[in-house]
Structure 1
Amino acid sequence: MQWVEWARNTPGVSTAYWAAYRLPFRLRYLRRRLADGGRAPAVAFAPERPHPLSVAAKVCSLAGARVVGPDQPHDLAVHFSLATHRPLPAELAADPGRVLNADCTDISKTAVEAAHQEAFGYGLAVDPTTSAGVCVEKSDANAEHDGRELRTPVPPARVRPGRVYQQVVANVTADGTEVEDLRVVVVGTRVPLVYRKHRPVSDRFSNDNSRAEVVPASSVLSDDETARLLHLCRLLGADTAELDVLRDRGDGRAYVVDLNPTPNGPPNHLPSAEARRALDVVTRAFTEEFLAPAHSFG
């Protein structure tokens, strides 16, 4: 909503807004620390610290873990960068402990396509100068949400640098009014949940949902698809990430169109009660995968 954006970005007001936004997570952090009665585990992030809207910041709060810099004592480190090409910073390369997403250094659409081809045996890339019909043109960079449909073939001179060209995935719902995206949450060796998101067909390339819900992975993915998604994450060096997956109504295949190791969330237009439950599920998975035995989530 417009007033929320105003409050987030207006000097003076923004400080109060973010303090109020953090309050529920801070209270749950304190409750967690009181319940544990022990030392709070510390998670170091570099080269960037997670924003309050990020899943990482929320999960650390809910797990009772402190967010610290890499120069402070810590139990776990996380390579955290919003960039598309994200080299591991020197302070994490020298870290003697475990560094999550240490090898996740390239999340471009080109890199995701190459991993998809290896993990699934098929992909989305098309040559816009020779294919006939309609393709999707979008930025190779992360989180641009600038896709558009383009009729092909096109002259080579119209192929733009820094863009990728992919087949159109027919993820339109049965009534033809919406598109359905699957936001697959990966935490270590597991997929604790999936967000099913819907948007009007006219807004298919935006990030503004009309509705969203939490579903178990088994209801929307086969065991084989889940295994291949986890393999794709390993190929891209992602220990924890969220994947955007589209199901084609024509061939029935699942297609990964994006991998995000630094997601914000849960998705917009997910009911608040479901969002709280989803964060609890993800926090439990993160704690069991990466913080145990230093910490437990009761």
Structure 2
Amino acid sequence: MHHALWWKDFEFQDGVVTVKKTGARLRLEPGLIGEVLSWFPFYFVVEGWRLRRSSRSGPKIWFAPDRPRPWYLIWSVLHAAGARIAKSESEADAVFFFDDSTISGAVDCPSSARAINRHCQSIAKSHVGTVFEQCFGYPLNVDPAHFRGELVRKSEANGAHDGQIIQGPCVAEPGFVYQRLIDNSIDGGLVEDLRCPTVGGQIPLVILKRRPRGDRFANSNACVKVVETHTVLTAAEQAQLAGFARAMQLDWGGLDVLRDNKDGRLYVVDVNKTDMGPPIAMAMDDKIRVTQRLATAFLDFLRPTAVLEQRTRP
């Protein structure tokens, strides 16, 4: 993976970094530079795993249409699992459909290979909201023309992080989705997101991401904590989230889940099929622990019997 010139994925101009694939723009500020510098120690840990385990007979994964770069969670999990990136799809044990686009097209897959995320082609916010309501029985998306009070306006695009709290009723703008404002506030003037990594619909652990209430839509965190799934999600809620992942046809990814203080309900506000991580603000020991836990779950998911188990699971 290190042989791919991943730094060519970016354009640098006038103090702004542009991600070529998605068009996301990040201004080069001290905070961003600090995050990049704090990311490198974990990168070198994963590079060590890759170098030590590259000669082992782990599963071979072919990624299409893109290969994951080092800042994507699957990259570190892949190497923690002792898996390898296949040189061609014909030799692959599994084909991982990896595309950072909001809406992806179909990709051919060898009939002999396990397919991962092949049919998860849309993670547009409106689609996520529609599937969420079908699975949970209550809505997240709202019609802004008829909604009175505070609501959230977000871009449909993946990774935009441009949410705004506005007043309804209002005129809907093309390219945006409108959602209920979820009260996920906790003590200390913070809000708390439950990032739920999912592997075959299962959630091996939960990452609590906390940030100041005024930065609720930002992509940075003041505090990150790793907890066991059962401590924050009931068995019924885990089953609901597994059903949601199946309905999204998401084999691997991350669900951004909020719990509303007003009614205690869960709301899945975003789906990430090419999730980044572990989060920058997470302690190094936790980054290693989370990656290794997810690597074990990923290897279990790749077992031949896992296909039958997933299909027969209620």
Fold match, TM over 0.5?
yes
- Partners of 2:132 and 2:279 in 1: how far apart? 24
Aligned to 1:46: 64
Q: Secondary structure at the match of 1:198?
A: strand
Aligned to 1:120: 136
Aligned to 2:48: 27
2:166 is equivalent to residue 166 of structure 1: no
Aligned to 2:11: none
Q: Which moved more, 1:20-29 or 1:251-260?
A: 20-29
Q: Deviations over 1:5-51 (max 9, x none)?
A: 49979xxxxxxx97x864422322343457xxx52321000001001
Aligned to 1:136: 152
Structure 1: which amino acid aligns with 2:161? Answer: H
Taking structure 2 as the reference length, what is the TM-score of the superposition? 0.82
Structure 2: which amino acid aligns with 1:24? Answer: V
Q: Secondary structure at the match of 1:206?
A: coil
Q: Secondary structure at the match of 1:225?
A: helix
Q: Deviations over 1:118-162 (max 9, x none)?
A: 1110121111111111110111111110000111112x3xx2101
Q: Secondary structure at the match of 1:191?
A: coil
Q: Secondary structure at the match of 2:244?
A: helix
- Partners of 1:69 and 1:3 in 2: how far apart? 37
- Partners of 2:31 and 2:161 in 1: how far apart? 23
8 Å CA contact 1:128–1:152 kept in 2: the answer is: yes
Q: Taking every aligned residue pair, what percent have the same amino acid on both sides?
A: 34
Aligned to 1:58: 76
- Partners of 1:162 and 1:246 in 2: how far apart? 23
- Partners of 1:69 and 1:128 in 2: how far apart? 49
Listed as ranges, the matches of 1:1-298 within 5 Å are: 2=30, 5=33, 22-32=43-53, 38-68=56-86, 70-90=88-108, 92=109, 94-154=110-170, 156=171, 159-175=172-188, 177-291=189-303
Structure 2: which amino acid aligns with 1:236? Answer: M
Q: Deviations over 1:56-108 (max 9, x none)?
A: 11111111111135545111110100001011223x3x443211011100111
* Cα separation, partners in 2 of 1:180 and 1:106, compared to 1, 3 Å: same
- Partners of 2:96 and 2:161 in 1: how far apart? 25
- Partners of 1:214 and 1:174 in 2: how far apart? 18
- Partners of 1:185 and 1:146 in 2: how far apart? 22
Q: Secondary structure at the match of 2:208?
A: strand
**Structure 2: where are the runs of 5+ without partners?**
1-28, 306-314
- Partners of 1:252 and 1:100 in 2: how far apart? 33
Q: CA deviation at 1:268?
A: 2.3
* Cα separation, partners in 2 of 1:148 and 1:189, compared to 1, 3 Å: closer
**Structure 1: where are the runs of 5+ without partners?**
10-16, 294-298
- Partners of 1:196 and 1:206 in 2: how far apart? 15
Question: Size of the alignment, in residue pairs?
Answer: 276
Taking structure 1 as the reference length, what is the TM-score of the superposition? 0.86
Q: CA deviation at 1:184?
A: 0.4
Q: Deviations over 1:272-293 (max 9, x none)?
A: 1111101010001101111579
- Partners of 1:4 and 1:133 in 2: how far apart? 34
